[in-house]
Amino acid sequence: MQKMLVEGGELLNGKVRISGAKNSAVALLPAAILADSDVTIEGLPEISDVYTLGDLLEEIGGSVAWDGQTVHINPENMVSMPLPNGKVKQLRASYYFMGAMLGKFNKAVIGLPGGCYLGPRPIDQHIKGFEALGAEVTNEQGAIYLRAKELRGARIYLDVVSVGATINIMLAAVKAKGKTIIENAAKEPEIIDVATLLTNMGAKIKGVGTDVIRIEGVAQLHGCRHTIIPDRIEAGTYAITAAAQGKEVIVDNVIPQHLESVLAKLREMGVTVEESDEQLLIMPKNPLKSVDVKTLVYPGFPTDLQQPFTSLLTKAVNTGVITDTIYSARLKHIDELRRMNAIIKVEGGSAIISGPVQLQGAKVKATDLRAGASLIIAGLMANGITEITGLEHIDRGYEKITEKLTNLGANVWREEMTEQEILQFQNS
Ligand SMILES: CC(=O)N[C@H]1[C@@H](OP(=O)(O)OP(=O)(O)OC[C@H]2O[C@@H](n3ccc(=O)[nH]c3=O)[C@H](O)[C@@H]2O)O[C@H](CO)[C@@H](O)[C@@H]1O
Ligand SMILES: C=C(OP(=O)(O)O)C(=O)O
């Protein structure tokens, strides 16, 4: 088991290349189940969530061959193998096996998913969609059983705008008989990416990127080749890092439009942000001004960048308020930031951050993926050395983060933990 050490103070400079989108990748791999021949996906991020999903595809009989960031998935020998336990619990996105296996085999057994604990992460809207398509859905000892004689298109209104439910219903509906209409659908770029893959496989989908998606079911889907979109959350994390502790940082391989809400907030703080086709240039001008942020569904400010942004606000003059309207309990990073000298109050679902403060290095724990990113950013701004444990969360979503930060001039490295440190970590 490793810990990360971050020595603060160095100004970051240079170029960082963004990897493929985690939150797209984790749906694209399960989507391949629906094809009847080879699906090749290019540009995948080399992160543990992606490999876990590859293992799950193999568990159900798929052949999965990796070639760096490219995966070739042959689904011909896949079967509707029950997956009530095991690796499905290691990540949230295993729930996409429900939609994909239901769509392909008319049945599936999938253990309730894991992933970052951000407070309750219900899947009632996914289930409502599967039932509307004709599936019987039961929860038996923590595994979801889905069975259908056949799936039939339906009109489904989502009571909450949900990325997961929109994608999962799309996966189940592309091979259903007749027309499915998803109303109040989510519009995140990752949903468009999944729909692009499905369309390349022969699915008939209209309206992705709007709040009404129309799907005409088809009998068969074939293999195809697909290139994933860049990770807007990784790009946003580096843009925020550059605003916090950068000189001139180029964030390369991005779609700037995917980050408009975040870039607007950085500009409001006084950061110079220049956009070109596939790059962002971030140049902070101190002192930074505080801003208020509310996370919303896309194109609003993403919940996944709330925690990194909290760290940035510790450096800004005056008080900034961050309210996460998507996951109001996504606040575990705050106790850790307080250990580093941050002055943050929590009221309801809002974090009230007073700044500027000089953060101090400390021993902290990444409780979830984006909490990990927020602690790295804090460590880069802090005096002294910050020791971060819980790297398994960070490795679920950030490809080669130590190397990428080192290339920008940061003093960041990993060390093996001693037995005593591992014990302390396990008991904390
Ligand atoms: C809208 C939004 O910002 N979604 C984010 C959310 O997706 P994730 O897929 O986890 O969450 P959803 O988009 O599905 O959920 C959005 C909201 O709807 C609620 N909900 C969801 C499904 C359901 O069946 N019932 C229900 O009540 C959730 O509790 C949440 O408050 O976390 C991902 C990982 O951090 C992000 O990449 C997504 O961008
Ligand atoms: C919380 C996240 O991931 P997951 O939903 O896969 O746990 C995230 O990407 O920020």
Q: Which ligand is nearest to the CA of 294?
A: 1
Q: What is the mean pLDDT of residues 258-277?
A: 98
Write down the pLDDT at residue 116: 75
Please, what's the largest Cα pairwise distance for the chain?
63
Confirm or deny that 73 is annotated as ligand binding.
Answer: no
The pLDDT tens digits of the residues spanning 25-67 come to 999 999 999 999 999 999 999 999 999 999 999 999 999 999 9
Q: Which of 240, 251, 295, 307 is nearest to 276 (CA)?
A: 251
Write down the pLDDT at residue 120: 82
3-class DSSP state of 40? strand
Q: What is the mean pLDDT of the chain?
A: 96
Q: Which domains does the chain have, with CATH numbers?
A: 2-19+230-427 (3.65.10.10), 22-227 (3.65.10.10)
In this predicted structure, the answer to whether residue 140 has a pLDDT above a threshold of 90 is yes
CA distance 331 to 324: 9
CA distance 176 to 197: 17
Confidence of residue 428 (pLDDT cuts 50, 70, 90): confident
Residue with tokens 């997956």: 83
CA distance 237 to 53: 24
Write down the pLDDT at residue 67: 96
The pLDDT tens digits of the residues spanning 343-367 come to 999 998 899 999 999 999 999 999 9
Residue with tokens 């964030």: 251
Ligand 1 and 165: CB distance under 6 A: yes
Q: Which ligand is nearest to the CA of 368?
A: 2
Confidence of residue 336 (pLDDT cuts 50, 70, 90): very high
Question: What element of type H or E holds 267?
Answer: helix 260-268
What's the one-letter identity of residue 319?
T
The pLDDT tens digits of the residues spanning 376-394 come to 999 999 999 999 999 999 9
Confidence of residue 214 (pLDDT cuts 50, 70, 90): very high
The tally of CA atoms less than 13 A away on the side-chain side of residue 302 is: 24
Give the tokens for residue 4. 């990360």
Active site residues: 116
Scanning 60-188, the segments in alpha helix (DSSP H) are 96-105, 124-132, 163-173
Q: What is the mean pLDDT of residues 403-412?
A: 98
Q: Indicate which atom in ligand 2 lies nearest the CA of residue 92.
A: 6
Pocket-testing residue among 47, 118, 231, 262, ligand 2, by greatest number of atoms within 8 A of Cβ: 118
The pLDDT tens digits of the residues spanning 177-208 come to 999 999 999 999 999 999 999 999 999 999 99
Terminal-to-terminal C-alpha distance of the chain: 15
Q: What is the mean pLDDT of residues 331-336?
A: 96
Ligand 1 and 245: CB distance under 6 A: no
Q: How far is the CA of 165 from the centre of ligand 1 (A)?
A: 8
Q: How far is the CA of 306 from the centre of ligand 2 (A)?
A: 12
**Where is pLDDT greater, at 118 or 49?**
49
Write down the pLDDT at residue 118: 81
In this predicted structure, the answer to whether residue 342 has a pLDDT above a threshold of 90 is yes
**266 near 297, Cβ under 8 Å?**
no
Q: Which of 341, 364, 353 is nearest to 309 (CA)?
A: 353
Q: Indicate which atom in ligand 1 lies nearest the CA of residue 128.
A: 24
Instruction: Supply the ipTM of this predicted assembly.
Output: 0.97
Distances (CA, A) of 404 to 13, 59, 119, 239, 360: 11, 33, 30, 13, 23
Write down the pLDDT at residue 115: 73
Sign of the alpha-carbon dihedral angle for 97, 99, 102, 103: negative
